[in-house]
Structure 1
Amino acid sequence: MTQTPTAVRTRIDAEPLTCTLGAQLHGVQLADAVHDDALFAEIRQLLLRHKVLFLRDQNLSRADHVAFASRLGPLEDHPVLGSDPDHPGLVRIYKDLDSKPEHYENALHCDATWRERPPMGAVLRCVETPEVGGDTIWVDMAEAYRRLPEHIRTQIAGLRARHSIEASFGAVMPPEERHRLKERYPDPEHPVVRTHPETGEKILFVNAFTTHFVNHHTPENVRFGQDHAPGANLLMNYLISQAAVPEYQVRWRWTPDSVAIWDNRSTQHYAVQDYWPAVRKMERAGIAGDRPE
């Protein structure tokens, strides 16, 4: 009796979307990677290489979404946005007619750097999106660091900076509530240039949550008061502005059941809010990370 040969899965087709950042994966369902170790390992390696991965037409239930993201690491809730009651760690980011058009997303940011251990990454699924608009932009902050002028890289090599949830999510809260939020999440101190724990890349690690340097006021950096303030602020603004350089970016147009997976350690992102009052509904699983070094 002749047996039918078992089908052998071919390698994932990863289509690069820019010269340094982002790839769209074809011929793969993330739900399959929940139980397929080889498939999951290949996706993880592609994530390290491309920093953000995109997939369309994903038949992904909420349970599958959480299960796949959990393979990347433990999931974490958001202290302001909360999470789905039936799927801890799955945050609903719903912008509909009942929502206030807040502006937390449409700033270039790295998720939750106001944590001592910011997220390793996230898996974001599109539930509903406008016919036009509502794109998301990601930025390669390793490339941003590589292309800084040499004297700037030297200047910032040992600098550290504060990141704040109070000054971002807390800004619209009454003072007492804002102060309680800061008590729960005191402003952590992170290196301005972090090293990726898996690839070894150097990454420019300042974003919209970053408020100020903590060790800039030294004899090497400050001759006069002008060098400290506004000098330090001008340097910080220059560094934060690097994320706005188009050569470091990739832009993704969402469709229902499309998914993005990104490495939060080496990228920033920006959710374009150009669609109001149209509806945009997303669900995100955030993966706990390590302490930046």
Structure 2
Amino acid sequence: MSEKNQIRAEDRLDVNTINETIGFLSSFFKWTTSNGYSEKNLFQGVKIRDSQKKHSRDYRPRYSEKQISKLFNAKDFLENTIGRKNYAFYWVPLICLFSGARVNEICSLYLDNIIQRQGKNTGARFQCFNLVEEPDRPQKRLKTLSSRRILPIHDTLIELGFIEFVKLLRRDKNRERLFEELKYTSSGYANSVQKFWNERYSKRVNVSEDSQRNRTTFHSLRHTVTDLLKQANVDTKFINEHQGHSQKNIDLDRYGKAYDVEILYENCTKRIVYESSRGRKIDFSGLKVDWKRFLK
């Protein structure tokens, strides 16, 4: 216990990660016992219980289409982000809405984590987020091994000028991080973004009452994408890789290569589409700004 207490909280493995590892070991020893390499699967049925695990009703729900329309209406969103010259407050919610990535994964990005990859099927090129841990950047952490992935950037983000935004920032040869205005804390880089979203902005656009009742928070953006893909009948294996979840399968997790970016784009990224209750696509074009003017 004394050794455990010496480990910083943010460096400890969570219960889900431990159980994922046990699951891998159980699958492996199931194979070894079946093939005569061992006598018993010592990991079969083993699972760590989470004493702090919340009841399913306490999990954060997704945002409704009505809430999304409120949160990303051009007048309020631009006034409270670009109008205050806080570009992280503008981009991070939009990126999470159109990727389902964890907020710290986006807030800790470096400029060289925005990459281009060529699809193997058609040769099409895709702009991507390279979500990896890097030894020379110790404050850039991922939640689990399954979180390492190359994630295609949604067309809506490109239409809003994200790649142009990145190119303009790269003019400063001394700049390394995408959102240098975000400061590192013990919980990562996302603290100020989450506070802005949960404590100020959601109330300002009258989503706070819904949040109190339904307990939506910034993290609900990630749940929204996951549920959207699920309701679109996307295969779970594609959703898991897109969202950085374990496949719960030793062959896929340990020995299978990551899906090609074109496969992820076709099966997940392009299917993140938000529609109103009348079936019309929610229009985000009003959020587009002239980045050259703002980043002189």
Task: Report the TM-score when normalising by structure 1.
Answer: 0.22
Greater share of residues in helix: 2
Which structure ranks higher in relative contact order (CA pairs < 8 Å, sequence separation ≥ 6)? 1
Normalising by structure 2, we get a TM-score of: 0.22
